[in-house]
Amino acid sequence: MLQRSAKTVKSTLKWENVSLVNTQLPPLVHFGFHVSLFGTVGATVGIYFAAAVTPGPNLLYVAHTASATSRKSALMAAMGVASGSTTLAGISVLLLGDLLPAQGAAYRLLRLACGLYLSYLGLRILRGLRTTDHSAPDPVAHSGSRVYLRGILTIVTNPKATLFFGALTATVLPLSVPLTTRISAVTALALSAFSWYCLVAIAFSSEPFQRLYRRIVFPIDLLSGCFFLALGLYLAFAP
């Protein structure tokens, strides 16, 4: 009787342990999945943010628009750049993986077209140096739709941005990563882009900065114009 009772207790404990293990495993598996998801999304946003805060055509375009025009135009420029970033990220991460190899005739034609556009943007800024009154923005030259479109073109016509998102995809978000993770990463990247560039637009369009800009408008516009012109010529004609 005692031996039979002991066997019964051991059997009960054995099945209780199995049941306990079986009820605990799924949460651990799901927890591991979430860690992997958040880690991948966090790495994607971190790499993108490190590139976004680095001075370049995107940041310079938003800052220049915010300094020289109204806050509304600055926010439109920010949304244009962020929309372009989201578009490139979505195409690269969700569809193509690696958009364009850094070689071949197609890449050369892309560099030429993008370089010519950025050169035009630089010449346009330099041509505006002849304007003596910077106190009021030009409602035609700085209309919301045009500023927004220029923001998109500023990043889309930069081959380095295309290659950046291609490299980001290849290293952090290859096609082997689950689709839900890649969609989450693109969504988080888009939110980061809109938040960052809108913050830049608001900061640079503030009244104290506007007053400062009106005092140093010539060197800032000269630097911005020369930067875009030099970058465009380099992209168009450098080997």
For 196-237, how does the pLDDT look when each residue is reduced to its tens digit (9 = 90+)? 999 999 988 888 877 776 777 788 778 878 887 887 888 778
Q: How many domains does the chain have?
A: 1
Indicate if the pLDDT at residue 20 is higher than 60. Answer: no
More confident residue, 60 or 170: 60
Instruction: Report if residue 201 sits inside a domain.
Output: yes
Q: Among 226, 99, 223, which Cα is nearest to 156's?
A: 99
Instruction: Report if residue 43 sits inside a domain.
Output: yes
pLDDT grade, residue 194 (50/70/90)?
Answer: very high
Q: Among 86, 92, 94, 88, which Cα is nearest to 195's?
A: 86
b/e per residue, 138-154, with b = 16+ CB within 10 A? eeeebebeebbbbbbbb
Instruction: Report if residue 5 sits inside a domain.
Output: no
DSSP secondary structure letter of residue 130? G
Instruction: Report if residue 21 sits inside a domain.
Output: no
What is the model's pLDDT at position 22?
Answer: 41
pTM beyond 0.85: no
What is the model's pLDDT at position 81?
Answer: 95
For 55-110, how does the pLDDT look when each residue is reduced to its tens digit (9 = 90+)? 788 888 998 888 888 889 999 999 999 999 999 888 887 765 544 555 567 667 76
Indicate if the pLDDT at residue 17 is higher than 50. Answer: no
Instruction: Report if residue 114 sits inside a domain.
Output: yes
**Tokens standing for 5?**
């009772």
What is the model's pLDDT at position 96?
Answer: 57
Mapped onto helix, strand or coil, the DSSP state of residue 56 is coil
b/e per residue, 48-70, with b = 16+ CB within 10 A? beebbeeebbbbbbbbbbbbbbb
Instruction: Report if residue 167 sits inside a domain.
Output: yes
Strands (E), the chain: none
In terms of residue numbers, what domain contains 214?
Answer: 36-237
Instruction: Report if residue 31 sits inside a domain.
Output: no
Q: Among 153, 82, 76, which Cα is nearest to 119's?
A: 153
Indicate if the pLDDT at residue 162 is higher than 90. Answer: no
Q: What is the mean pLDDT of residues 12-24?
A: 40
**Tokens standing for 155?**
């990043």
Which residues make Cβ contacts (< 8 Å) with residue 128, sequence separation at least 6?
A: 221, 225
Instruction: Report if residue 16 sits inside a domain.
Output: no
What is the model's pLDDT at position 77?
Answer: 94
pLDDT grade, residue 2 (50/70/90)?
Answer: very low
Dihedral, CA of residue 155, residue 156, residue 160 and residue 161, to nearest 10 = 70
